[in-house]
Amino acid sequence: MNVEITRLASGLTVVTETMPHLESVALGVWIKSGSRNETEDEHGIAHLLEHMAFKGTARRSARDIAEEIENVGGELNAATSTETTSYYARVLRDHVPLAVDILADILTESAFDEEELRREKHVILQEIGAANDTPDDVVFDKFSEVAYRGQTIGRPILGTPDTVKGFTPGQIRNYLSRNYTTDRMFVVAAGAVDHATFTKQVEERFASLPMTPSSPPVLETARYIGGDVRETRDLMDAQVLLGFEGKAYHMRDFYCSQILANILGGGMSSRLFQEVREHRGLCYSVYAFHWGFSDTGIFGVHAATGGNELPTLVPVIIDELRKSSETIHQQEIDRARAQIRAQLLMGQESPAARAGQIARQMMLYGRPIPNPEMMERLEGITTERLTDLAGRLFFDTVPTLSAVGPIEQLAPLSDITTALATPGIQTKKAAG
Alpha-carbon distance values, 390 to 134, 145, 200, 361 (Å): 31, 24, 49, 26
Residues 247 and 181 in one domain: no
Residues 233 and 188 in one domain: no
Residues 71 and 170 in one domain: yes
Instruction: For residues 105 and 290, give the distance between their C-alpha atoms in angstroms, rounded to a whole number.
Output: 36
Residues 48 and 182 in one domain: yes
Q: Which amino acid is at 158?
A: L
Q: Output 374 or 293, whichever has higher pLDDT.
A: 293
Residues 310, 427 contacting (CB under 8 angstroms): no
pLDDT at 424 over 60: no
The single residue of 50, 68, 120, 145 carrying the catalytic annotation is: 50
pLDDT at 339 over 50: yes
Tell me which of 171, 205, 239 is where a domain ends: 205
Tell me which of 175, 205, 235 is where a domain ends: 205
Residues 246 and 383 in one domain: yes
pLDDT at 425 over 60: no
In a domain, 322, yes or no: yes
In a domain, 267, yes or no: yes
In a domain, 217, yes or no: no
In a domain, 211, yes or no: no
Residues 149 and 232 in one domain: no
* Averaged pLDDT for residues 368-391: 92
**Percent of the chain surpassing pLDDT 70:** 97
Tell me which of 205, 237, 254 is where a domain ends: 205
Q: Which of 205, 168, 213 is nearest to 32 (CA)?
A: 213
* Averaged pLDDT for residues 93-109: 98
Residues 156, 149 contacting (CB under 8 angstroms): no
Q: How many CB atoms lie within 10 A of CB 99?
A: 26
pLDDT at 34 over 50: yes
Mode of pairing for the β-strands spanning 3-7 and 24-31 = unpaired
162: domain CATH number? Answer: 3.30.830.10
Can you give the pTM of this predicted structure?
0.92
Residues 284 and 338 in one domain: yes
- Please, which residues have CB within 8 angstroms of residue 130's CB and are 6 or more apart in sequence? none
Q: What angle do CA 261, 242, 305 make, to 5 degrees?
A: 100
Residues 279 and 395 in one domain: yes
| pLDDT at 8 (0 to 100) | 97
Residues 252 and 200 in one domain: no
Residue 42 designated active-site = no
Average pLDDT value over all residues in the chain: 94
**Percent of the chain surpassing pLDDT 90:** 88
* Averaged pLDDT for residues 236-244: 97
- Please, which residues have CB within 8 angstroms of residue 131's CB and are 6 or more apart in sequence? 137, 138, 141, 156, 158
DSSP letter, residue 428: G
Instruction: For residues 210 and 201, give the distance between their C-alpha atoms in angstroms, rounded to a whole number.
Output: 18
| pLDDT at 131 (0 to 100) | 96
Torsion of CA 63, 67, 68, 74, to 10 degrees: 130
Domain count, the chain: 2
In a domain, 284, yes or no: yes
Instruction: For residues 162 and 124, give the distance between their C-alpha atoms in angstroms, rounded to a whole number.
Output: 12
In a domain, 142, yes or no: yes
pLDDT at 427 over 80: no
Instruction: For residues 124 and 161, give the distance between their C-alpha atoms in angstroms, rounded to a whole number.
Output: 9
Residues 398, 299 contacting (CB under 8 angstroms): no
Q: What angle do CA 214, 220, 221 make, to 5 degrees?
A: 140
How many whole angstroms from its chain centre is CA 46?
14
In a domain, 218, yes or no: no
- Beta bridge partners, 86, equal 30, 79
Tell me the residue range of the domain where 283 lies. Answer: 227-431
Q: Which of 176, 195, 172, 174 is nearest to 185 (CA)?
A: 176
Residues 177 and 242 in one domain: no
Instruction: For residues 3 and 358, give the distance between their C-alpha atoms in angstroms, rounded to a whole number.
Output: 9
Residues 127 and 271 in one domain: no
Q: What is the pLDDT of residues 122-140, one digit of tens each?
A: 999 999 999 999 999 999 9
In a domain, 222, yes or no: no
Q: What φ, ψ does residue 120 adopt, rounded to 5°?
A: -70, -30
Q: What is the pLDDT of residues 292-333, one digit of tens each?
A: 999 999 999 999 999 999 999 999 999 999 999 999 999 999
| pLDDT at 219 (0 to 100) | 82
The region, left, alpha or beta by phi > 0 then psi within -120 to 50, assigned to residue 255 is alpha
How many whole angstroms from its chain centre is CA 28?
17
Residues 101 and 241 in one domain: no
